[in-house]
Amino acid sequence: MAEVVERAATTQAAEMWVKCPECATLAFRKEVERNLNVCLKCGYHFPLTVEQRLAIVADRGTWRQIDSELKASDPLGFVDSKPYWKRLEEARAQTGRNDAIVTGTCEIEHEPIALGVMDFRFMGGSMGVVVGEKVARLFAHARRNRLPVVLFCASGGARMQEGILSLMQMAKTCTAVARYRDLRLPYVAVLCYPTTGGVAASFAMLGDLNLAEPGALIGFAGRRVIEQTTGERLPPRFQRAEFLLEHGMVDAIVPRRKLRSTLANVLRLLKNSPRHDS
């Protein structure tokens, strides 16, 4: 009995504290959450759940989800250390959703938008058929209703368990963005930690404005793969948001506490610019 009580007390204490992976500072979890899950000492941006992201960005009571019923299948009968269908079941139980992105509509400071938020907890935010389909449908919905699009990207890339079907989503989502651009409507991509692989190589980097959170990992292949392939030693902050900003790959780095107001201002500016004037 004493062992059970001690284990429960240890678990409770662990849940009260959070350790920053960047500066190793320990802080009360509630204090970090009140600071929008940003380290109070070094400014490290902890990953957010979809619900936390929506609470920060969307005007209260305006979020309406679409296409929530879409659910991934196992078209290839893929098995590695465990069957793909089993991985899907575990991811659904862990996250409470059917796949690695939620899409819908909301308002940001009274500006109506179509919004997509990727969930890295669902199989590393990987893009399979359902993620690609939901992104394409989001842009189609925005076209029909003449809405700006904001997409929060957080992904390890294409989902290997769906093989070539997952890679096809890169072309599909790029086509959806291109068709959307025919109406000269604004698209803002927000790159979070991490945005990599096939997602970075498709819709994530196609925004009229590509914003990034501080310290976000952004790139296609991993650091180790690049170093082994090229035989070159890469700079210390290679593929971080700050490095990409210096090299013109993102347009701005926006701290989380300023993101909502920045998005609202950007949407107003783009909506009223000559390029997007309908």
**Per-residue pLDDT tens for 194-232?**
999 999 999 999 999 999 999 999 999 988 999 999 999
Question: Is the pLDDT confidence value at 53 over 60?
Answer: yes
Question: Is the pLDDT confidence value at 2 over 70?
Answer: no
C-alpha dist (Å) from residue 240 to 19, 120, 218:
21, 17, 6
The pTM is what? 0.91
Instruction: Judge contact between 44 and 25, C-beta under 8 A.
Output: no
To which residue do tokens 């501080």 refer?
214
Mean pLDDT of the chain: 93
pLDDT bracket for residue 15 (50, 70, 90): confident
Question: Is the pLDDT confidence value at 126 over 70?
Answer: yes
Question: Is the pLDDT confidence value at 10 over 50?
Answer: no
User: Once rounded to an integer, what is the mean pLDDT over residues 48-72?
Assistant: 97
What tokens appear for 131 in the block? 């993620």
Least confident residue range of 10-24, 85-99, 113-127: 10-24
Q: Tell me the domain boundaries of the chain.
A: 1-46, 47-276
The predicted pLDDT at position 240 comes to 97
Question: Is the pLDDT confidence value at 100 over 50?
Answer: yes
What is the DSSP secondary-structure string of the chain? -HHHHHHHHHHHHHHHEEE-TTT--EEEHHHHHHTTSB-TTT--B----HHHHHHHHSPTT--EEESTT-----TT--BSSSBHHHHHHHHHHHHSSSSSEEEEEEEETTEEEEEEEE-TTTGGG-B-HHHHHHHHHHHHHHHHHT--EEEEEEE--B-GGGHHHHHHHHHHHHHHHHHHHTTT--EEEEEEEEEEHHHHTTGGG--SEEEE-TT-BEESS-HHHHHHHH--PPPTTTTBHHHHHHTTSSSEE--HHHHHHHHHHHHHHHHHSGGG--
The predicted pLDDT at position 274 comes to 65
Question: Is the pLDDT confidence value at 114 over 70?
Answer: yes
Which residue would you say has higher pLDDT here, 270 or 166? 166
The predicted pLDDT at position 9 comes to 44
User: Once rounded to an integer, what is the mean pLDDT over residues 99-107?
Assistant: 98
User: Once rounded to an integer, what is the mean pLDDT over residues 52-57?
Assistant: 96
CATH of region 47-276, choose from 3.90.1720.10, 3.90.226.10, 3.40.50.10310, 3.30.1600.10: 3.90.226.10
